[in-house]
Amino acid sequence: MSSPRIPPALIALGLAGLAVGAPFVTTWGAIALLGAFVAATAGLAWPGRRTPWARRLGWGVVILAPLLATTGFTIRVAAPNVVAAGQNAAGRMAVASLRTLLWAQDRFIERHGRAGLLAELAGTRPDGLKLPVPVVRGPYRQLTPTATGQAASDGGYLFQVWVVDPSGKTWGDGGPLPPAGARAWRACAWPQAKGTTASFAYCVDQHDDVVQTDNAGAHQGYSGLERPMPADAPTTAPPGLRLLPGTGADGGEWGWWRGKQTRRSKAADGR
């Protein structure tokens, strides 16, 4: 009696599962690759004489199915999650840096009677005069020109500060000093490379109103030195007034960071 051969249907089923699952390593694609692996393994374990072509095809499916499943999982699931986690961490650090600028502005206003530009907060005036006690250090001393003023780079974000005088005029780094009594200010952060280092953009003002946007509006897409954020981007009101949720002057949707106001912001509202 001749021994049974490997059923060609098992090998064919394994090849079909491989073909279906390879391009679509999602739920159904993974199931197809698992089915291909099981079918090919069953074909190789089938008792009896094995033809060379069936053996080669069977082992090919057994090797390729888990390899493709692992590669697909990495590309479609693991890698995007790692990127998203990195961007979320960069966003949290950007907001923490903006809150540090809030603290620095409070100290600067106490000493000088007005809000400070970013270079001043780092201890250097635009005319090169060193201020005695800088309130921020490190990367904020290195400013680079943009179309809306000079900005500092830190942690995958660019940061810019505008001081607002009582008439509503904005003063930024790279220009003259703000006038005495200009105590309103606004600081914003946007990604160095949108979609790579981060995506969201953030702003804070003297009331500790912290707002954010997904930076996906038609007139947004703030990214790097080439596409900086203007001072009036997050609000339809002139700079110097409160930052509030809603549609900004840039057409994007802005909301409270983490969906709520800070204690200081609530206190400014009398709550």
- The backbone region for 86, taken as left when phi is positive above 0, alpha when psi lies in -120 to 50, beta otherwise, is alpha
Distance CA 65, CA 19 (A): 10
Residue 125 tokens read as 């005036």
pLDDT in the model for residue 5 = 53
Residue 87 tokens read as 């961007």
**pLDDT tens, residue by residue, 22-52:** 555 555 566 666 666 666 666 666 665 556 6
Name the band, by pLDDT with cuts 50, 70 and 90, for residue 114: very high
pLDDT in the model for residue 236 = 72
Distance CA 259, CA 255 (A): 7
pLDDT in the model for residue 228 = 93
Query: Are 156 and 192 spatial neighbours (Cβ–Cβ below 8 Å)?
Result: yes
**pLDDT tens, residue by residue, 242-253:** 888 889 989 999
- C-alpha distances (whole Å) from 142 to each of 83, 133, 137 are 27, 17, 10
pLDDT in the model for residue 239 = 73
- For 99, other C-beta atoms within 10 Å of its C-beta total 16
Task: Report the C-alpha dihedral over residues 224, 227, 231, 236, rounded to 10 degrees.
Answer: -130
**pLDDT tens, residue by residue, 153-169:** 888 899 999 999 988 89
pLDDT in the model for residue 3 = 45
Name the band, by pLDDT with cuts 50, 70 and 90, for residue 187: very high
**Residue scoring higher pLDDT (70 or 203):** 203
